[in-house]
Structure 1
Amino acid sequence: MRIIVLLSLWGVLAGSVSAQKIVTGLAAVANTKLYYEMEGKGDPVVFIHETALDTRQWDAQWKAFARHFKVIRYDIRGFGQSDRARDPHNPSEDLKGLLDYLHIEKAHIVGLALGGNVALNFAAKYPGRVLKIVAADATLDGFTDYTPLLNATVGRIIDLASHQGWHDEQQDVWLRSPLMRLYAADDKTVINLSEMICDYHGDHFINPRIDPAFGTPSTLELLSTVTAPTLVLVGEKDEESFHRVANLLVKKIPNVRKKEIKGAGHLSNMDKPKVFNKLTIQFLNTIRR
């Protein structure tokens, strides 16, 4: 009986130690507060999410990367548990503020879609703060060659939300859009995505004026100045616009490589997490050229 009690007590203590590994908080950055989570040891890796999503987008990456790196994920201003956006802002400046707050001098930056745009803009403006970049299914301010389908999709959701708010109908339209479609994900991931969309307040669709503003020159114009080794990832089934962006990144960034993730859509890290994790970890662990 005593052995059983001791084993049970050890299990409780071990669970407590494990729980203490994750640090969470609100970082005071400029005139806002950013929610963040941090775990692990080693080179820092910062994960940055897509529009309308939050830190939970990286659930399938979190433990896998925490075994190799110090992992940080945060909610961009206006999303998740961070303060809501009131005015246009530059999210790459918020990222700098977060790294300063956490006393992190240099980090790998992994971003998807909007997060990829933030990563690239940050790398261009603060090259000394970046180890490597992974830009997955990235958007790109300054880029205009988006397809009519993508323009119509985004235009429709903005029209619906700005006139009717962000309710079940609008959330369903966004979940069914090419940007949110999951091709290979399991049920748990599908539920996770639905919960993020339902928890999002819709501010950026209701009032696009508060969208992230990267300033001038645009990130597109700055790509040739990105010196960090860069991995461009794109889902095979992602909307054509993002393949165009990926190809442009390969042409403009000096030290770059590209991989296509078979069977994945726009949210490639959620659709094919094992492939995404393998490609990204291998890249981050390679010796810098």
Structure 2
Amino acid sequence: MAFATASDGVKLFYEEAGTGTPIIFVHEFGGSHWSWEPQLNFFARRHRCITFAARGYRPSDVPESAESYSQTRAADDIVDVLSAAGIEKAHVVGLSMGGFAALHAGLRHADRVLSIVAAGAGYGAEKAHEDYFKGISEQVARNFQERGARDFAPTYAEGASRVQFQDKDPRGWALFAERLGQHDSLGAANTMRGVQMRRPSLYDLEAGFRAMQAPLLVMTGDEDDHCIEPGLYLKRVVPRCGLAVFPKSGHTLNLEEPELFNRLLAEFIAQVEAGRWGERDPRANPAQIMRVD
């Protein structure tokens, strides 16, 4: 088993497969390093693929204090894993919590990022729902800590943006729910309190996003309601951003629609590596409806 040591001494488990241009996959709150199996199986054929368990997720360390968890730390952990693996730069692919971490890695460590994919990233970003999100996050943290992951997992796994996965792929969803029930309960609670509840809104980072030069692909499901508007916002402010909306889809995109996810990711990386994922053509003026002269 391979472990990276983060800058604060926390041990982070990682694994890798394949050779080629590196891709690092960053998991969501409800998943872990195992969440990316459909992607590692596909992309390891032509890329060096890295995935890791975030702090709080076994077999990585589970710090006892929520103060050891933060959005900044999550972004820095990505780079610490890359450094441990001897990788200078990589394509960074994240889902949900991992999508936020990927975006922050792009802001904090632009020199280590070849491109960014942020899928299902938006929860808590909407300014109108900030207080509600913090309150419901505390309830989730308390449920994990007091009831335990095994008891609370079936409830969490049937959230409004996860039932799409359950409807399409009951076996895949059942495996997701079963593995969620194996999470470290304290690690889940601390992650929710330290990372999810305290991270800044994407809308408060506009200056940084407007200056970001890394190619970015935002993916969202059309039934993942609280990620749609943040996805549109990123499309409008990040210079080299594309937006992909998955029809009749929820939050867990890489598991719910693995073939579509892999196809879009492969095309994105191919265009980036060919130097073809540029800024929007200035002639494509969003204020124009039809050209008349």
TM-score (norm 1): 0.81
What amino acid maps onto 1:236 in structure 2? D
Structure 1 residue 263: Cα displacement: 2.5
Q: In the alignment, what sits opposite 2:31?
A: 53
- Equivalent position SS for 2:262: helix
**What is residue 287 of structure 2 aligned with on the other side?**
none
Comparing 117-126 with 178-187, which one deviates more in the overlay? 178-187
Give the distance between the partners of 2:54 and 2:128, measured in 1 at CA: 26
- 1:274-285 equivalent positions in 2, closer than 5 A: 274-285=259-270
Instruction: Report the equivalent of 2:54.
Output: 76
Distance in 2 (CA, whole Å) between partners of 1:33 and 1:159 is 25
Given candidates 155, 177, 191, the residue that maps to 1:173 is 155
1:227 aligned partner: 213
Closer, same or farther: CA 148–185 of 1 in aligned 2, 3 Å: farther
Match of 2:74 among 81, 85, 91: 91
Per-residue CA deviations over 1:15-71 (Å, capped at 9, x if unaligned) read xxxxxxxxx411122211111111111110010010131011111111111112111
User: Are the counterparts in 2 of residues 142 and 221 from structure 1 also a CA contact under 8 Å?
Assistant: no
Number of the residue aligned with 1:28 = 5
Structure 1 position 221, deviation (Å): 5.0
Given candidates 264, 270, 278, the residue that maps to 2:249 is 264
Deviations 1:181-219 (A, max 9, x none): 315543442232012211112325544543366689965
* Residue 218 (structure 2) pairs with residue 236 (structure 1): no
The range that moved more, 28-37 or 177-186, is 177-186
The answer as to 2:92 corresponding to 1:115 is no
Question: What amino acid is aligned across from residue 66 of structure 1 in structure 2?
Answer: A
Distance 1:173 1:216, change over 3 A: closer
User: What CA distance in whole angstroms lies between the structure 1 residues aligned with 2:185 and 2:122?
Assistant: 19
Deviates more, 1:243-252 or 1:106-115: 243-252
Listed one character per residue, the Cα deviations across residues 131-168 of structure 1 (whole Å, up to 9, x for unaligned) are 11111011377653448986775454234345x33154
Give the RMSD, CA atoms, in angstroms.
2.7
SS in 2 for 1:131: strand
With 69-78 and 132-141 compared, the bigger mean Cα shift is at 132-141
Question: Unaligned 5+ residue runs, structure 2?
Answer: 279-293
Query: Percent of aligned pairs with the same residue?
Result: 24
Determine if contact 1:131/1:229 at 8 Å carries over to the other structure: yes
What secondary structure sits across from 1:232 in the alignment? strand
Distance of 1:268 and 1:188 partners within structure 2:
15
Question: 1:54 & 1:236 partners in 2: Cα distance?
Answer: 24
Look up the SS of the partner of 1:172 in the other structure: helix
- Within the candidate set 177, 180, 197, 1:197 is matched to 180
SS in 1 for 2:114: strand
Equivalent pair of 1:120/1:133 in contact (CA under 8 Å): yes
Q: Aligned partners of 1:235 and 1:26: how far apart in 2?
A: 33
Gap runs ≥5 in structure 1:
1-23
Are 2:87 and 1:104 aligned? yes
Instruction: Map residues 136-147 of structure 1 onto 2, 5 A cutoff.
Output: 136-139=119-122, 143-146=126-129
Q: Is the 8 A contact 2:124 2:134 kept in 1?
A: no
Q: Is the 8 A contact 2:57 2:187 kept in 1?
A: no
109-118 or 78-87: bigger deviation: 78-87
2:289 is aligned to: none
Question: Do 1:106 and 1:131's aligned partners in 2 also have CA atoms closer than 8 Å?
Answer: yes
CA distance in 2 between partners of 1:125 and 1:168 (Å): 35
Matched residue SS, 1:270? helix
SS in 2 for 1:211: helix
How far does residue 94 in structure 1 lie from its aligned partner after superposition? 1.1
**Which secondary structure state, in structure 2, belongs to the residue aligned with residue 119 of structure 1?**
helix
Q: Which has the larger radius of gyration?
A: 1
Counterpart CA distance in 2 for 1:220 and 1:47 is 24
TM-score normalised to structure 2 length:
0.80
Q: Report the CA distance between 1:96 and its aligned residue.
A: 1.3
